[in-house]
Structure 1
Amino acid sequence: MNRLMKPGARERETLLNSGLLSALGVESVTGMMEIAVIGNLPARQMLFREGEPADTLHCVLSGYVRVYKLDPDGREADVELYGPGDLIGASVVLDGGRYAATAQAAEPSLIARFDLKRVRELASRRPDLAVVLATALSAQLSKAFASLADDRLHTAPQRVARYLLTYCPQDGKAASFRLPYQKSLLAGKLGLAPEALSRAFSLLRNHGVNVRGRLVHIGDPEALRRV
Structure 2
Amino acid sequence: MINDIERIAGVLRFATYFRTWPQEDILELAGLCDWVRLDADTAMISSGQPALALYLIVNGHVELSFEDRSGKSGLIDLLGNGQLVGECALVPEGCYAVSVRTLEATTAIRIDGPGFSDFLADHFDCALTMMSAMTERLCQMLRQAEELKCRSAAQRLGIYLLADAVAIDGVYETPLTIEKSALARKLGMTSETISRALKKLVDVGVTQHSNGHIIRIANAEILAEWCGLAGNDGDENAFKTAV
TM beyond 0.5 = yes
Instruction: Report the counterpart of residue 218 of structure 1 in structure 2.
Output: 217
Distance in 2, Cα, partners of 1:75 & 1:202? 31
Deviation of 1:123 (Å): 1.1
Which of 6, 18, 28 is equivalent to 1:21?
18
Distance in 1, matches of 2:212 and 2:93, equals 42
Among all aligned residue pairs of Structure 1 and Structure 2, give the percentage whose two residues are the same amino acid: 24
Of residues 44, 47, 60 in structure 2, which corresponds to 1:47? 44
> Mind listing any 5+ residue stretches in structure 1 that lack a counterpart?
1-5
1-side partners of 2:133 and 2:92: how far apart? Answer: 14
Amino acid at match of 1:108: A
Matches of 1:171 and 1:210, distance apart in 2:
14
Cα distance in structure 2, aligned partners of 1:151 and 1:67: 17
Query: What is aligned with 1:191?
Result: 188
Q: How many residues align?
A: 222
User: Does residue 63 of structure 1 match 2:60?
Assistant: yes
TM-score of the two chains, using structure 1 as the length reference: 0.86
Secondary structure of 1:142's counterpart equals helix
Q: CA RMSD in A?
A: 2.4
Deviates more, 1:101-110 or 1:74-83: 74-83
CA distance in 2, matches of 1:119, 1:12: 14
TM-superposition CA deviations, 1:7-55 (whole Å, max 9, x none): 3655432221112322222342122111110110111101011111111
Q: Deviations over 1:84-117 (max 9, x none)?
A: 2211143442464211111011111111111111
Q: Is the partner of 2:184 in helix, strand or coil? A: helix
Tell me the residue number matched to 2:80: 83
- Structure 1: distance between partners of 2:205 and 2:11: 37
Equivalent positions of 1:145-184 (< 5 A) are 145-168=142-165, 173-184=170-181
- Looking at structure 2, the residues matched to 112 and 24 of structure 1 have their Cα atoms a distance apart, in angstroms, of 17
* 35, 47, 62: which one aligns with 1:38: 35
**Does the 8 Å CA contact 1:90/1:136 hold for their aligned counterparts?**
no
Residue identity in the other structure for 1:46: A
Indicate the SS of the match to 2:31.
helix
Decide whether aligned partners of structure 1 residues 115 and 222 sit closer, same or farther in structure 2, where only a CA change above 3 A counts.
closer
Amino acid at match of 2:220: P
Letter in structure 2 aligned against 1:93: L
1:105-145 Cα shifts (integer Å, max 9, x gaps): 11111111111111111111111221122123212211111
The one-letter amino acid paired with 1:100 is A
Aligned residue number for residue 232 of structure 2: none
Match of 1:129 in 2: 126
Tell me how far apart the structure 2 counterparts of residues 177 and 49 of structure 1 sit (CA, whole Å): 32
Q: Can you give the 5+ residue segments of structure 2 that lack an aligned partner in the other structure?
A: 228-243
Q: CA deviation at 1:72?
A: 4.7
**Shift in CA distance, 154/26, structure 1 to aligned 2, threshold 3 Å:** same
